[in-house]
């Protein structure tokens, strides 16, 4: 039981770390490929705003990360781990 819980937490952590890595790499690729069109931006002055708005950007709350962490741990404990055990038992049959 302890081994299953440990493996489920490690699986959930790995899923979330992989998600963060993918987001960082995707952002880097988009930044490297971005080419601003300066001529088009300044040709129409109506498109540019004359005021700056201040505030906070809305993002996912901490509860969302906690729920996805718990959900991925439960997915491993109740779905993936039994499948892996069945697969290992089939391989060990003589």
The 3-state DSSP class for residue 77 equals helix
Each residue's pLDDT tens digit, 6-53: 999 999 999 999 999 999 999 999 999 988 777 766 666 665 666 777
3-state secondary structure of 14: helix
Mean of pLDDT values over 71-89: 89
pTM: 0.66
Of 3, 31, 8, whose CA–CA distance to 78 is shortest? 8
């Amino acid at each position: 039981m302890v081994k299953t819980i440990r493996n489920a937490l490690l699986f959930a952590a790995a899923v979330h770390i992989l998600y963060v890595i993918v987001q960082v790499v995707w952002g880097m690729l988009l930044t490297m490929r971005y080419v601003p069109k300066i001529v088009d931006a300044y040709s129409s002055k109506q498109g540019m705003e004359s005021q700056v708005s201040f505030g906070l950007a809305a993002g996912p709350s901490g509860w969302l990360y906690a729920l996805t962490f718990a959900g991925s741990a439960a997915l491993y404990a109740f779905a993936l781990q039994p499948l892996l055990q069945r697969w290992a038992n089939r391989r060990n049959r003589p």
